[in-house]
Amino acid sequence: MAQSPPADNADVDIDVHRRENRLRQRRVKILTTRDSWAVLARKDDILRQTLDGIAVATNPDVICDIGCFNGEEIARFHRLVPSASCYAFEANKRNIDNYINARSDLEGVVVNNVAVADYDGEIEFNILNAEGEQEDWRRAAGSLNERTDGVGGEKVSVRCTRLDTHFASQLNDNCTFLLWIDVEGALDRVIAGGQKLLSRTIAFRAEVERHQFWAGQKLAHETISAIENLGFILVADSYTEDAFAQSDVLFVNKNWLKLASRDE
pLDDT digits (tens, 9 = 90+) for 213-223: 989 999 999 99
pLDDT < 70: residue spans in the chain? 1-34, 131-140
The burial class, CB within 10 Å (0-12 / 13-18 / 19+), for 243 is: buried
Task: Using the CB atoms, write b or e for 198-231: b if 16+ within 10 Å.
Answer: bebbbbbbbbbbeebbbeebbebeebbeebeeee
Residue 246 exposure: Cα atoms within 13 Å on the Cβ side: 14
Q: In which element (H, E) is residue 38 found?
A: helix 9-58
In the chain, the amino acid numbered 220 is A
- pLDDT value at residue 230: 98
| Angle between the N-to-C axes of helices 9-58 and 72-80, in degrees from 0 to 180, rounded to the nearest 10 | 40
Note the pTM of the prediction, 2 decimals: 0.84
Q: Delineate the domains of the chain, giving CATH numbers in brackets.
A: 9-260 (3.40.50.150)
> What region, left, alpha or beta, does residue 185 occupy, with left being phi > 0 and alpha being psi -120 to 50 degrees?
left
**CB neighbours (10 Å) of residue 22?**
10
Identify the pLDDT of residue 242. 86
Distance from C-alpha of 59 to C-alpha of 62, rounded to nearest angstrom? 9
- Percentage of the residues of the chain whose pLDDT score is greater than 90: 70
Handedness of CA 68, 71, 73, 78 (dihedral sign): positive
